[in-house]
Amino acid sequence: MTPTDLIPAPPPRAAARRALLAGSAGNLVEWYEFGVYGCFATVIAANFFTPHAGAGAGGGSGAEALIATYASFALAFFFRPVGALLFGRLGDRLGRRPTLVLVIGLMTLATTLIGLLPTRDAIGAAAPWLLTLLRVLQGLSAGGEFGGAVSLMTEYAPPGRRGLYGAWQSFTVALGLLAGAATAAALAVVLPAQALYAWGWRIPFLLALPLGMVALWLRTALEEPPGPPPAKAGSGTRGGEVPPGGGVQARTVVLGIGRIMGWSAAGYAFLVVLPSHLQSALGASFRDALLATTLVTLGFAASILPAGLLSDRFGRRPVMLGGALGIAVLAHPLLRLLQSPGTSPQTRVVAVLAAGALVGLLAGPGPAMLAEMFPRRVRCTGLGLAYSLANAVFSGCAGLVITALTARTGDAAIPAHYAAGACAISSLALLTLRGNDHREPLR
């Protein structure tokens, strides 16, 4: 058998489009929920982490309750590498489709149960523990989601379109965050504060059930991507590759983490942590904070697919490096514009749109870049581990670190320090990308 015999024939366009749709649907559900949790962090703090907080009382604005909320948020992220390892091995051995069906079912169940969960006023100290347990289940399922979905979409991608197909994963992340922010903003406008704190916050979580059922239906109709069959335990390897379970090369995973740590840190600092930070540190209203989040997510969404296309033409390195350096240089000026009372509304809009667009330059080519780092037999596990570990450290801890440091130091520029520092380090790892990786077939 020659090396070219190992390269699968391009899949039919119709099958590639179905795989793209099914893979993207689960990401939308996952990130819709994460976006809702970030937008309602102060409300969740009042209902679950503040003893005897009356509905609408604003008890969630206390720093301690908010830090506890983000600690629960971070804990879920630290279970994502466990999910990436568990479901990644299943995806590499049993196939992409059954794994993706399993993770979307678990994710939908946990998200819906959050919407039904009794608050601390109803059942006491058990409430935050139950919420944390459901967040752990979400973390496990989310850890398996990325590796399976990105593997599916990039393995189905037509020649020269891997960056675009992978970018759809990030684009549906943006759509999920945007849907979460828009839903939260709509409820904040329609409902009085007391109703929002008492029961209105449940509505966005319960909406995950019909969304998840649609995603589940799409994934049950999938076929496996073209190529060699999934690896079996103990099977031989080629080129020194290690079968799943034997261990993906740690240095490759660490390099992948370095390349996307800026994406992880800046994405969460701007897209998820921003609402509560604007309220707690800058005194913005809940509605104004949600509006800013909606705008930054729009900027993020608008740049993702163009960034994926550009990376197919010019390579992953120039596009991602441009985004990382852009954030490192502009994070502080953009935040100062938001903080300055003399900044016009139009300038504020441009600032938050630009912040989101810079993150999109990283998120567009990022999935395809990770897929190109690992061979097929360990792709689900390898890219899932790199992504989930980066997110556990630099995304899951973003709210906790930013909120705690801001409360301790009084420095309202902590989000800019966090995003700029991570992107500066990430730029060094991105320099190791080779210029022609995007043109080579997946291994």
Q: What pLDDT tens digit does each residue of the chain (443 aa) get? A: 444 444 455 556 777 788 888 888 878 877 787 677 767 777 777 788 776 544 444 433 455 666 666 666 667 778 888 999 999 888 888 888 888 889 888 988 988 998 898 988 888 878 888 888 888 888 888 888 888 889 888 888 888 889 999 999 889 878 887 788 788 878 888 888 888 888 888 898 898 899 888 888 888 877 777 665 555 544 433 333 344 344 567 889 999 999 999 998 998 888 777 666 666 666 666 677 777 777 888 898 999 999 999 999 999 999 999 999 999 999 888 888 877 777 777 887 888 889 889 999 999 999 999 999 999 889 989 999 999 899 888 877 777 777 778 778 878 788 888 899 999 999 999 999 987 877 787 87
pLDDT value of position 282: 63
CA atoms of 124 and 130, how far apart (whole Å): 11
* pLDDT attached to residue 232: 52
Please spell the DSSP secondary structure of 345-360, one letter per residue: HHHHHHHHHHHHHHHH
Q: Does the reported pTM lie above 0.75? A: yes
Q: Are 169 and 161 in contact (CB under 8 A)?
A: no
239 in Cβ contact with 377 (< 8 Å): no
Supply the CATH number for residue 358's domain: 1.20.1250.20
Structural domain contains residue 238? no
Domain count, the chain: 1
CA–CA separation, 226 and 12 (whole Å): 10
In a domain, 10, yes or no: no
347 falls within a domain: yes
| CA quadruple 178, 184, 187, 189: dihedral sign | negative
Query: What values do phi and psi take at 269, rounded to 5?
Result: -60, -40
Look at the block and give the residue holding tokens 């971070």: 74
pLDDT at 415: 83
240 falls within a domain:
no
Query: Quick one: pLDDT at residue 319?
Result: 95
Please report whether residue 236 resides in a domain.
no
The percent of the chain in helix, strand and coil, each rounded to the nearest 5, is 75, 0, 25
Half-sphere exposure of 154 (CA within 13 A, CB side): 36
Which residue has tokens 């966005």? Answer: 204
Is 2 inside any structural domain? Answer: no
- Residue pointed to by tokens 């490192």: 328
Number of CB atoms found within 10 A of residue 214's CB:
14
**Which candidate, 250, 167, 254, places its Cα nearest to that of 429?**
254
Q: Is the residue at 266 inside a domain?
A: yes
Taking a C-beta distance cutoff of 8 angstroms, is the pair 134, 110 a contact? Answer: yes
pLDDT of residue 46: 77
Question: For residue 4, is it within any domain?
Answer: no
- Give residue 104's domain range: 16-223+249-439
Handedness of CA 349, 350, 355, 357 (dihedral sign): positive
